Amino acid sequence: MFESLKISDLPHQNLGVLRKPSSTRPTLWLVKESGVRAVVKDYSSNRFLFRNTVGRFLLWRERKAYRRLKGLRGVPTFYQVIDGLALVIEEISGRDIEGLENEGALSEEFFNQLQELVENVHGRGLAHCDLKRAPNILLGHDERPYIVDWSASISEREFRVFPLNLIYQRFLQDDLNAITKMKLRHCPQSVGPAEARRYFHRSKTEETIRSVRDKLRNWLQRVA
């Protein structure tokens, strides 16, 4: 699917621009082929040095994540990478959850499904690392959660050596804490005592790990 799509085609063969580029943010295009709609994350319009270093690196990492998560419900289907500069994935019909707390649109069942999805992701040896950003979580038209933007994700294999394995465990907990944070905003009655303790408790050791984690995550988010 989308094997014939070229970067040079994108300005002329698209259904719209979902996000315009900045100096470090790729263009998001909406495209269609054989009745199938897809989103293209395109770094080709970024600055030469950025797109050929950071851009290619992030797309390589994101492709690895999508391949590891292949077939997992709640993660868009990965189609292909074009010339190492653009990533083509399934379009999810729905909307991101930004501002939905004002509409009362997210139920406890949605968060149960989201937690199950995140635990399945962790079971495949990945942490998303950026679930606190509402645009990375979508409410599909089927009322189910979907997670997008895996460029900042890290794998268990990359952090298997001490003390990096402790930081990886912190990233796993951060993914779950992001869900708790959203639940506190949308349906606080669904947050149990044990979950609340995990969210609010910080030991001295954990504070140190969180400090290292924050520096790493800030770097990942800047380049992603």
Q: What is the pLDDT of residues 136-161, one digit of tens each?
A: 999 999 999 999 999 999 999 999 99
Determine the Cα–Cα distance for residues 169 and 82; give it in Å rounded to an integer. 33
Q: What pLDDT is attached to residue 110?
A: 95
Could you give the residue ranges of the DSSP H alpha helices within 137-192?
164-186
Determine the Cα–Cα distance for residues 146 and 181; give it in Å rounded to an integer. 17
pLDDT tens-place string over residues 174-183: 999 999 999 9
pLDDT at 88 over 80: yes
Q: Which helix (H) or strand (E) holds 27?
A: strand 27-33
Q: What pLDDT is attached to residue 205?
A: 57
Q: What pLDDT is attached to residue 100?
A: 82
The 3-class SS string of 78-125 reads EEEEECCCEEEEECCCEEECCCHHHCCCCCHHHHHHHHHHHHHHHHCC
Q: Where is pLDDT greater, at 209 or 5?
A: 5
Determine the Cα–Cα distance for residues 123 and 221; give it in Å rounded to an integer. 23
Average pLDDT value for residue range 6-17: 95
**Short-list 163, 48, 19, 145, CA closest to 92:** 145
N-term to C-term CA, the chain:
26
pLDDT tens-place string over residues 21-61: 988 899 999 999 999 999 999 999 999 999 999 999 999 99
Strand partners, 183: none
Q: What pLDDT is attached to residue 68?
A: 97
**Residue partners of 104: CB distance under 8 A and separation at least 6:** none
DSSP 55: I
pLDDT at 111 over 70: yes
Q: What pLDDT is attached to residue 63?
A: 97
Q: Find out whether 26 and 14 touch, Cβ atoms under 8 Å.
A: no
Q: What pLDDT is attached to residue 127?
A: 97
Q: What is the pTM of this model?
A: 0.87
Q: What pLDDT is attached to residue 119?
A: 98
List phi, psi (to 5°) of 37.
Answer: -100, 145
**Residue partners of 54: CB distance under 8 A and separation at least 6:** 24, 223
pLDDT at 86 over 70: yes
Helix/strand/coil for 154: strand
